[in-house]
A and B are shown apart, each in its own frame.
Chain A
Amino acid sequence: MNRTLRKTAFFITGLYLLLFAFLTYVQIYRGEALMAHPKNRRSLELEKSTVRGNIYDSKGRLLAGNKQINGRQVRVWPYGAAAAPVTGYVSERYGKTGLEGEYNQYLLGLDPRQERENFWRRLTGRQMLGDHIYLTVDAELQSLAYRLLKGRRGAVVVLDPATGAVLALVTSPSFDPAAVDTEFKRWQKEDPSPLFNRALNGLYPPGSTMKVVTGALILEKDPAAVDRLYESQGSLLVEGFVLKDHSAFGWLNFYEAYQYSSNVVFARMGLQLGGKDFKEGAEKFGFNGEIPFELPVDRSTTAPLKELWGPELASEAIGQGKLLATPLQMALVAAAVANDGKIMKPYLVSKITDYEGKREIYRATPVVWQEPFSSSTAALLKKALVGVVERGTGKAAAVPGVKVAGKTGTAQNPHGASHAWFIGFAPAEKPRVAVAVILENSGYGGVEAAPVAAEIIKAALAEGDQR
């Protein structure tokens, strides 16, 4: 009988070994997939037991926080639709976007040190805490810019050119993050969709604002270009393609070419540069590459090199053709001129602290991202762009008592009326604010976009003076 007893014991042991093997498979091999399965409510439950961190603007004003409503914790966004392109939304059903999404780990306190602290808090039955995020954005400036767009399709990006700090990032139409659970499906279908972040993901022909890039590239290649005279007889024939100016400007110097925004002159400059220099030069501004940023940014693009000759090259030199740029990209172009040819890495998050504000987890340090041109080129361009606002197409961007520099753009596009653009900075002597404004299909940049830029510059400088 002992023989069969032993065999039976071995058999049952074999069954147990099967348990070990299968448990290893489920818990270790499949474990992570099971943990991350969308129907596994664990991460959601974990979130519910965490007090989500707040998002503050540069002056400590609340952009996103929590409120107790009927004993339930509810996420609130006091600046609503105005700040939505920055904050994004949080929804059990539709996920998270904006900084709420990109900085979710911090807002839930999942950085290593806070995670350890939260472990003890949970053990002792206290609520877990998230980290607070402080932004470079000025909420009042953000709201003003949103109001100035008046619900029209468009975007505004405001930067501090010396640091790369984003002071405002506005898109219109926008959405109220608090309404996402009920309205999401409608927003998705709506055209124009309020969920689309035009400032970062909208790709537009930049029109004449591109002339800042073309001019910079010419001056880098041939500094004597500033002393030359250029002739516009009203149109330019490039390989059977006709490019037109508003009128036959006649002979223009470098600065006048900017004031009148002569397509003929800048198209010729583009042809003089050649496709390779134009493309590589534009890439130093960020075109055809990734702009490092806390939120996803679409890539601004030129045509491929083999197409960049003749008509296409002439068109791209004045911001038309296949050239496409995001408003953030064009704000960086303005910032480059303002900051002596250096583009600072743009950023939104200035610091992250723990919930009590005692411990600093992260602090942004401004770094140079690109150096597309020299400071001497920058000085010449600055003078030219001041001329545009003082005497040229950009007069509507003038602010009393402040020297504003800028460039207008009126970009033709296949979707109807031209896009109105303005990029610029102020004060020209020591720039503290750079701005890009676009209003889709609304006409002349100097008429529609420039006044909006003026209001924003005025407010930004006034806000800055309070500091």
Chain B
Amino acid sequence: MQLSRQEERKLLFLASLYLATGIMVFYLPEEGEKAFRMAVSMVGAAFLPLLVSFFLDLRLPAADKFLLPLTALLTYTGLVFLWRLNPQLAWRQFFWILIAHIFLLAVLFLDFRNLERYQYTYIIIALFILLLALIFGKETYGARSWLQLGLFSFQPSEFGKIFLVLFLSSFLAEKKDLLLLPAVKGRFWEIPSLAYLGPLLLMWGLSLLLLVFQRDLGTALIFFATFLTMIYVATERLSYVVGGLSLFAAGSYLCYLIFGHVRTRIEIWLNPWADIEGKGYQIVQSLFAIGSGGVFGRGLGLGFPRLIPVVETDFIFAAIAEEMGFLGAAGLILVYLIFLYRGFKLAMRASTNFGRLLAAGLTSLFTLQAFVIIGGVIKLMPLTGITLPFVSYGGSSIVANYVLLGLLLNISGREEER
């Protein structure tokens, strides 16, 4: 058993070589405080996951050994690109990575099996923080999803997502059978009893609420997609997914008709070239960056990603595509894909429905988020302002995603234990 963690550390070592190479490119011509900070963040970021690895040896020796190196690869890519794009944010990101690892260790101290019983607590917390954002939220880039807490601004929806998955996992694990009992049954259709469907409709309502009042299209989309995924996994019925999608489509269409900002998003997506200097500016700049990258990229530090607005958060993928080329960008997507594979694999190995649903829900949540933002940045779908998990700058995003990682490690470790 000790040996398997050794393998994880080998992978982490390789990842830290990748980090060191990237940082060195920017470190060499620098001196003084900036160079010092770069060095500190490099050593620190390389050291932190190793610490977690040793901790896992002690407490959860059976935990999946690929998740930590995969996460490190994503985090390091983000850190290197932040040093390249905005040194001030890179230094802050390092502290967020530090804090995120503390949260990660804290989650590893828990036993996920004990988490099943607090289902209503989760939904109340989730609703509470989302409402908080709604009421006290500060509008940034058209979305009212930020909470200003003194020095920090905090994005509650990042944590809200995890609480919602926790709620759904425990709720569906318990009520799964009831959902399967049709109360009203026709020849070709069936509707589950309203009493049990209630909380689920609540979820749907919540997503649309987000969409309407927070103008946070991306988060709403991910909430709802994750929700549908989990319903499907739990009930094994496509009819719920189809029903849910129809509801979502209807809701979205309504929003398209009623709300100008939704309409604008769609129009920009369909033809950003009509208004290059205005509304289409962001996405066109992103496409310019990606296109200029070509197959091999312009080289780290040799492109002009600063021409893209908010490149450090939503558009960091465009910067990566410009400087690392198709090979680098596709490599990054591949990392998410491997993560997806590991996540579902551990979901399948889980012994309880709660474990399965939690692992599948968290993995879907995070891989769908990556899909939605990358898809938006390359103009595969309308752009929605969300972060690229583990890579984009953002405290709430990094910490929440490390909590997610902690839960997945926890599930894999505990399941193998028995």
Q: A-side interface residues toward B, CB under 8 Å?
A: 1-9, 12-13, 15-16, 18-20, 22-24, 26-28, 30-35, 37, 39-42, 45-46, 119, 122-125
A269 to chain B, nearest CB (A): 62
* Contact partners of B277 in chain A: CB under 8 A: 39
- Please report which residues of chain B, range 292-323, place their CB below 8 angstroms from some CB of chain A when the two chains form the complex: 292-295, 299, 301-304, 307, 321
Q: Is the interface of B mostly helix, strand, loop or mixed?
A: helix
* Contact partners of A39 in chain B: CB under 8 A: 276-277, 284, 288
Q: Which residue of A lies closest to B284 (CB)?
A: A39
Pick from B29, B292, B294, B330: contact of A124, CB under 8 Å: B29
- Please report which residues of chain B, range 359-388, place their CB below 8 angstroms from some CB of chain A when the two chains form the complex: 360, 364, 367-368, 371, 374-375, 378-380
Pick from A2, A8, A18, A37: contact of B288, CB under 8 Å: A37
Q: Is the interface of A mostly helix, strand, loop or mixed?
A: helix
* Contact partners of B251 in chain A: CB under 8 A: none
A128 to chain B, nearest CB (A): 10
Q: Is the CB of A1 within 8 A of B302?
A: no
* Contact partners of B325 in chain A: CB under 8 A: 27
* Contact partners of A41 in chain B: CB under 8 A: 304, 307
Q: Is the CB of B232 within 8 A of A8?
A: yes
User: CA–CA, A43 to B291, complex, Å?
Assistant: 13
Q: Which residue of A lies closest to B302 (CB)?
A: A122
- Please report which residues of chain B, range 266-284, place their CB below 8 angstroms from some CB of chain A when the two chains form the complex: 276-277, 284
- Interface status of B250 (Cβ within 8 A of chain A): no
User: CA–CA, A12 to B379, complex, Å?
Assistant: 18
From B115-123, B140-148, B332-340, B395-403, give the one contacting chain A: B332-340
User: CA–CA, A447 to B159, complex, Å?
Assistant: 92
Q: Is the CB of B321 within 8 A of A12?
A: no
Q: B-side interface residues toward A, CB under 8 Å?
A: 25, 28-29, 229, 232-234, 236, 276-277, 284, 287-288, 290-295, 299, 301-304, 307, 321, 325-326, 329-330, 333, 336-337, 340-341, 344, 347-348, 353, 356, 360, 364, 367-368, 371, 374-375, 378-380
User: CA–CA, A30 to B288, complex, Å?
Assistant: 10
Q: Is the CB of B287 within 8 A of A16?
A: no
* Contact partners of A23 in chain B: CB under 8 A: 290, 321, 326, 329-330, 333, 374, 378
User: CA–CA, A123 to B27, complex, Å?
Assistant: 11
Q: Is the CB of A123 within 8 A of B302?
A: yes
For chains A and B in complex, what number of residue pairs have CB atoms within 8 angstroms? Answer: 134
B325 to chain A, nearest CB (A): 7
* Contact partners of A13 in chain B: CB under 8 A: 337, 340
User: CA–CA, A331 to B294, complex, Å?
Assistant: 48
Q: Is the CB of B356 within 8 A of A1?
A: yes
Q: Is the CB of B304 within 8 A of A35?
A: no
* Contact partners of B303 in chain A: CB under 8 A: 42
With A42-B307, A124-B29: A27-B291 Cβ-Cβ less than 8 Å? yes
With A1-B233, A5-B344, A122-B302: A19-B288 Cβ-Cβ less than 8 Å? no
* Contact partners of A24 in chain B: CB under 8 A: 326
Q: Is the CB of B348 within 8 A of A6?
A: yes
In the complex, given contacts A6-B348, A9-B341, what are 4 additional A-B residue pairs having Cβ atoms less than 8 angstroms apart?
A: A5-B347, A15-B368, A42-B292, A42-B304
User: CA–CA, A124 to B299, complex, Å?
Assistant: 13
With A5-B360, A119-B302: A31-B233 Cβ-Cβ less than 8 Å? no
With A12-B367, A22-B380: A30-B291 Cβ-Cβ less than 8 Å? yes
A4 to chain B, nearest CB (A): 5
Please list 6 pairs of residues, one from A and one from B, whose beta carbons are closer than 8 Å in the complex, sorted by A's number: A1-B356, A15-B375, A22-B378, A27-B329, A34-B290, A124-B28
User: CA–CA, A125 to B374, complex, Å?
Assistant: 31
User: CA–CA, A63 to B307, complex, Å?
Assistant: 34
Q: Is the CB of B348 within 8 A of A26?
A: no
User: CA–CA, A30 to B347, complex, Å?
Assistant: 39
A87 to chain B, nearest CB (A): 29
Q: Which residue of A lies closest to B233 (CB)?
A: A4
A138 to chain B, nearest CB (A): 41
Q: Is the CB of B348 within 8 A of A12?
A: no
User: CA–CA, A31 to B291, complex, Å?
Assistant: 4
* Contact partners of B25 in chain A: CB under 8 A: 123
Pick from B29, B293, B326, B368: contact of A12, CB under 8 Å: B368
User: CA–CA, A421 to B372, complex, Å?
Assistant: 72
B189 to chain A, nearest CB (A): 20
Q: Which 5 A/B pairs are nearest by Cβ-Cβ distance?
A: A34-B291, A125-B29, A9-B344, A40-B288, A22-B380
User: CA–CA, A125 to B336, complex, Å?
Assistant: 33
Q: Which residue of A lies closest to B326 (CB)?
A: A27
Q: Is the CB of A45 within 8 A of B329?
A: no
- By CB atoms of chain B within 10 A, which of A2, A9, A41 has the most? A9
* Contact partners of A3 in chain B: CB under 8 A: 236
User: CA–CA, A24 to B406, complex, Å?
Assistant: 34
Q: Which residue of B lies closest to A10 (CB)?
A: B344
* Contact partners of A22 in chain B: CB under 8 A: 375, 378-380
User: CA–CA, A122 to B307, complex, Å?
Assistant: 18
User: CA–CA, A123 to B29, complex, Å?
Assistant: 8
